[in-house]
Structure 1
């Protein structure tokens, strides 16, 4: 199964992920012990536009670039739908669409009357649902317009994406629901949430650049070989 992942991509980005998670743990521990008073946001993987988050944005860009390059070579709509799907994920992650959208809902709708202190989580879930419908619709249109054998190629990609979603959404909701957000358990859950998202996104990128891209390349090489043999005969 590991041959399905681009090994150079996996090693490089996984090493970077573990480094940033390690720095996050060390700095968090030092702050907890009172050894340092400042925890730079840049080295806090839970902060937007931190080093870990910027690394995630780079992964999204590489994923989108790779999928678009596949589409431009194959002209199969499901790959264009997949690229748009991931583009929406990048916009949400880098522009904090679900946080900003939730804030707008709280300020302009009766969210507090409906959900009370859970208004923030509810608002984010509403925005995530809207973005999910939009992105899945783009992917579904491409899926319907593509041959079944091409659609089957992206199934492992989507399974890995659901791993990203589990860390970024499910664990995030559980994190926000904790009664003691500054407890040791909350800190560990935060590491699992943000660190898990980083690692799962690395595996997604490595598969897109490995299994997905190489399967299509190998098929094209095989077809060219068959045509060459046919021409010679």
Structure 2
């Protein structure tokens, strides 16, 4: 029975990755001019791929909440809150809009080929992420060992998101060459990582119900 459950989880991951690769393929076809609809691009807000990304983020939140309730693991609730922010940030361009406002209001200078707006966006992302991770850290260290392990796994996946969404994005802005390549790596990488996170959240929520976990001393 356990093997069938694991097979089902793995099949779900394969399905997510295949859909991601399909959208990445559509993006490449669009870039080569085979199709003209910009919604095929993975770089367009509210394009087909981006909407799929929003759906994944929504279900990450829902499954983490379900895992927290089912396993009586409070650490999953601040993680769900963090992904709520990422969902709103992606769909409403929060860090872009707030970052632009901060950059223009405080006359932040650009550095290393980065625009002042890029610096503003980075500051917003660091501030929001830092505050939310404080809540995660508090419940992380009060959780049982097994819940801390899964929390560390979520953190490593978040680092992967930051690599593509922040580091590669900054390279995309700072380096005037290969914009198409950097855009593909940034958005395509984010899509694949979020599929991995959704699969992991699904795996957590699909575990057997737990007893109320003991808080760490």
**Aligning the two structures, in what range does the TM-score lie when normalised by the shorter sequence?**
0.7 to 0.9
With structure 2 as the length reference, what TM-score do the two structures score?
Answer: 0.85
Task: Tell me the CA shift for residue 85 of structure 1.
Answer: 1.6
CA distance in 2 between counterparts of 1:176 and 1:145 reads: 40
In 1, Cα distance between equivalents of 2:184 and 2:114: 24
User: Displacement of 1:104 after TM fit?
Assistant: 0.6
1:163 alignment partner, SS class: helix
2:70 is aligned with 1:73: yes
When residues 209 and 25 of structure 1 are mapped into structure 2, their CA distance, relative to the original with a 3 A threshold, is: same
Q: Structure 1: which 5+ runs fail to align?
A: 224-233
Q: 2:189 aligns with which of 180, 191, 196?
A: 196
1:5 is displaced (CA, Å) by 8.5
CA contact (8 A) 2:103 2:119 kept: no
Paired residues, number: 205
Distance 2:69 2:144 in 1: 16
1:1-233 to structure 2, matched below 5 A, reads 6-30=9-33, 39-112=36-109, 115=111, 118-180=115-177, 185-210=178-203, 212-214=204-206, 216-217=207-208, 220=210
Deviations 1:123-168 (A, max 9, x none): 1110011111121012122223322332222222222222122111
What are structure 2's unaligned runs of at least 5 residues? 1-5, 212-217
Residues 154 and 197 in structure 2, CA contact (< 8 A), matched pair in contact too:
yes
> Going by fraction, where is helix more abundant, 1 or 2?
1
RMSD: 2.2
Distance 1:15 1:199 in 2: 10
Deviations 1:3-62 (A, max 9, x none): 5992232122212111111111111112xxxx77xx433111111111111111111111
Q: In structure 2, do the counterparts of structure 1 residues 170 and 117 end up closer, same or farther at CA, with 3 Å as the change threshold?
A: closer
Structure showing greater radius of gyration is 1
